[in-house]
Structure 1
């Protein structure tokens, strides 16, 4: 069967289950396409069974369409590709009637439309998004295991330092480490599974590729040699990044084999060849290359250590996190042990520990900047969960779930770690009596009563990571989102305006907002939409227009035009940020009925034409034409009031703004 036939089979299945709009999720097993339906009564089972290529239909919790091994992955992939989602992802709501849309669905649609306009895709963003998709599902486990690991580390370090003792504490540490190792020992496997799901490979194969890097079964008597330098491969060599790269190659190989291998033997041949090819490539190419890099890096570290001082501290503190990601940090353990053997402590470990301090500082900066951005609630929650773990010296949640997927904050975090390392290098003679986790957990192991110096270095790393990230590390799309009117319009349904448009440079003591249209002036509390009537978006007024001509109510700049043209944001000469929302729920018209006469960035004066609304068309579509006029930065002003309800003409005063709280921002 040719590929276009798989496409045809998939579309026929969609047709007889009530269309793509009736499907919420699609996955497959060895022989069946499994569909989760919104309305199971829309599925025509008899017609499904009659489709050429369908072997049977099973009605269970999901509707299972049996197409046979070899075919099923091709048919399922074709079906999700036609919708634009991945296997297992929720299907987007399509062609819902206005009556069927609740406020949350409208809000999500608004956000999606805005993202299409303002978040232009590129390859770098796609890579970061894939990293986030791989690691974000692991956040609960990373945080939970990280807390356990942090507690175990503190107890172990107190035992090592002689502060604590006893078999009971030792047993407790052992138990906590067993729990912690359930995640961190096998992190490569979990990463491989999630990476396979992200790249479209078989998750079990991805997990197996991750497990290959653990070198199970390899002993001191049965080693695998590095082809490049003849040394023995070490478990974990290549790190998490190596696993992700290997699974990405796996996805390319597996997809290509699915096209080439006949359906009758696809289930046997494709996974076998895929696993064999990528397993060998991982063992004989990816891991050895990482080993060569390890050797070169070891020589570099020895050189840096010989240089000494703040320069060495900065370089080592800044580079340690990339080493961890590549699995190269293991090469440092022999160095630590040799230093402890010769000197009684390792001065290298406290310097490297500063890398985690940079991550913590960066995370604090991201939290402070985004804490009021309702579109980034998930990211803010991730930061809150990962920060305590990072303070305890477990950096994986912060690295993989926060800074690395965002890109720029990872770099500023590394530089922040470099600052902490430079401070430790400058103070000198700060060493650890044993190898242990970083962060606060390392304090009990600091030798020669130099714990205060170590804490000073931590604080320097926190501050360095914070400042560099806050001013230079916030991705520009997040910075723009938090500072422009786009953020306000995107959040118009059920969201507040805590992080609003560009702040004003100066406010007059009093000024007015003019009517943008002819019609009946009404108070906001009489607008039949609680987002506006409750003042959720800010204070202002509303007009029931008598015609469709909309004019500028202020002199200023057109800051934002919503993609569906039903709303626009202006910034006036006094710093007022004005949202004009033309009609209620008119986002569903997707631009129909609105003739936009201005462009973003255009300067306008009071009375300049902005938009022509087709009132009859909007009303015939079942939508109200009332126009809320909102000052979205109302909190910047002491009082905002509107005249009594009356008939107004465009240009009449409808809002009085008095006594700015701040004369400058």
Structure 2
């Protein structure tokens, strides 16, 4: 099978596993995952998706995420949108629905929207939007960042006299042109992606991003800052200013589409949108950032006057927020003035510690969340770049979208800055990227002080993130994914052959054959044979005479090993792994001996109903390869401890 045919097959099977093309609202991708917004979660067959050759795993969060790995994910996602006749991120149209089908689809959409509304918060939505804007840019960040790091090392070595400028400057210039294709126009790329996230026209979003570059402004007659009267400077307002402006663009476009006649919409809407938002960006957003910057300069000067470790901590901790607002540009004249007057800038090495804090935080995330494949892949790609002093991949792709790690990374930067401030006299003879390349520019042989500060920033970012900055939801997601992927919570063990074992009813209710379960994984007996009870009581008892072998972290499933070697899983409810254990109270612990009269758990059936989860208590034999036969029964009312099935070993 050719690669093209393989990609087509994977794309088609992903649509099938996601409930069909009509059930997929939109498709995007990141470094390793095809990300889909689905219309009805109940139509998604995750096990079917996991079984697709080439699929490495499935995560069902706010988006359905199918992991196919870097290098292939972009091809699969593109093939999927090509099959649907749309572009990445665009809504896939649904075929005409009638009657009951239309009502059910509308109900499913309303239910999903209400569910998302209940769980979402403004901060979570903001961080999710930031992630969706910058994650697609990670490959470009990494590639351009590595080139930028090489350029930084070579430039600094030329400046310090370790390399001959006549020999190396031409190569440095060529490499700089290549890497500037990303970093010089980052505002434009951000505008395009932000428009896709917020629902605006992508190319118009790119124009709004380009506005802050002030292309074409006459330096002799600059645009004035309305707040201070000073001249505006390119990139004032920074990336966050672009994101805010594009968000305003999306709101304006949506309103214009409603009021402007279709016949002239393509002319009127983009013209008015670009004009109004562009003016707001130039005369409000950028000047506001300039106003903030002027006051920030006063604060920086005060901190510098205080001096010592305190100054180093404050400056090292606050530099990353300044970068995000585009305010770091105001420090350039300060660096130049320091170098002119004293031969070096004491400020640059301190500010460079912010990148060190990011590196330490990323390493801590990698250690604690190493089973999160996508995050690990991002960190592996962004770390070398971050060590070389290019911080955007780590900021926008890793720490900022996760929230707390960004704060702990800033603290790490502050610790590194405090060390350099305490040592004192650590300056750079020229302005350049931070990270390791800056070592070559440290004046007066105090490179050792810079290295100590960098190591302190690494360590500070790592420690604070490791203990205080790991998002709890990411840890829970890993536990849930591991639990869902496990085919059996009990270890394999030899059976006692030529014997019989019994399975007992675990609660009061209607006992049914496993094939009647609403969960396709269980009803198709993918994990094994058994039975389930539609529970009328929340008291749950052991299904066998044996031992508690394992308890899932989310409490929704318990593994047992019978005295005769049968491995049995008790699964409480359907799709209840997402409830993070809230409706369940476990009454036993691993290693406990149990009988069918042992109360092993209590389930809040009301909570299950409110969460729209079926109250099926499923009992499944998971080592079927060693089982000869399992008896059958007709649906009936049962009570706890009642024998239901006979097993021949």
TM-score (norm 1): 0.67
Paired with 1:86 and 1:546, the residues of 2 have a C-alpha distance of 36
1:103 aligns with 2:50: yes
**Cα distance change of structure 1 residues 102 and 318 upon mapping to structure 2, 3 Å threshold:** closer
Match of 1:490 among 452, 476, 484: 484
Aligned equivalent of 1:361 = 360
Paired with 1:353 and 1:609, the residues of 2 have a C-alpha distance of 54
Q: Deviations over 1:33-86 (max 9, x none)?
A: xxxx979xxxxxxxxxxxxxxxxxxxxxxxxxxxxxxxxxxxxxxxx9x97658
SS in 1 for 2:38: coil
Alignment of 1:368-407 (within 5 A): 368-372=367-371, 376-407=372-403
- Paired residues of 1:556 and 1:604 also in contact (CA < 8 A): no
Aligned equivalent of 2:236 = 237
Cα deviation for residue 630 of structure 1 reads 7.5
Aligned equivalent of 1:137 = 136
User: How many residues are aligned here?
Assistant: 508
**Cα distance change of structure 1 residues 582 and 206 upon mapping to structure 2, 3 Å threshold:** same
1:462 aligns with 2:458: yes
Q: Deviations over 1:6-58 (max 9, x none)?
A: xxxxxxxxxxxxxxx99969xxxxxxxxxxx979xxxxxxxxxxxxxxxxxxx
- Paired residues of 1:580 and 1:630 also in contact (CA < 8 A): no
Paired with 1:104 and 1:90, the residues of 2 have a C-alpha distance of 18
- Paired residues of 2:212 and 2:286 also in contact (CA < 8 A): yes
- Paired residues of 1:356 and 1:393 also in contact (CA < 8 A): yes
Q: Deviations over 1:462-512 (max 9, x none)?
A: 0100011111111121133345xx34333347x999xxxxxxxxxxxxxxx
Paired with 2:425 and 2:642, the residues of 1 have a C-alpha distance of 73
- Paired residues of 2:586 and 2:600 also in contact (CA < 8 A): no
Cα deviation for residue 265 of structure 1 reads 1.2
Paired with 1:219 and 1:308, the residues of 2 have a C-alpha distance of 39
Cα deviation for residue 168 of structure 1 reads 2.9
Aligned equivalent of 1:479 = 475
**Cα distance change of structure 1 residues 608 and 336 upon mapping to structure 2, 3 Å threshold:** closer
Aligned equivalent of 1:568 = 557
- Paired residues of 1:189 and 1:210 also in contact (CA < 8 A): yes
Unpaired segments ≥5 residues, structure 2: 1-11, 30-34, 66-111, 491-500, 512-519, 562-566, 589-597, 605-616, 633-639, 644-649
Aligned equivalent of 1:193 = 192
**Cα distance change of structure 1 residues 191 and 544 upon mapping to structure 2, 3 Å threshold:** same
Cα deviation for residue 185 of structure 1 reads 0.3
Paired with 1:360 and 1:516, the residues of 2 have a C-alpha distance of 55
1:551 aligns with 2:551: no
Aligned equivalent of 2:608 = none
Aligned equivalent of 2:339 = 340
1:92 aligns with 2:38: yes
SS in 2 for 1:219: coil
SS in 2 for 1:214: coil
Paired with 1:400 and 1:285, the residues of 2 have a C-alpha distance of 25
Cα deviation for residue 602 of structure 1 reads 1.6
Aligned equivalent of 1:412 = 408
Match of 1:580 among 562, 570, 573: 570
**Cα distance change of structure 1 residues 351 and 651 upon mapping to structure 2, 3 Å threshold:** farther
The CA RMSD over aligned residues, in Å, is: 4.7
Match of 1:438 among 431, 434, 438: 434
SS in 2 for 1:368: helix
Match of 1:604 among 584, 587, 604: 587
**Cα distance change of structure 1 residues 102 and 196 upon mapping to structure 2, 3 Å threshold:** closer
Cα deviation for residue 99 of structure 1 reads 13
Cα deviation for residue 580 of structure 1 reads 2.9
TM-score (norm 2): 0.68
SS in 1 for 2:557: strand
- Paired residues of 1:551 and 1:611 also in contact (CA < 8 A): no
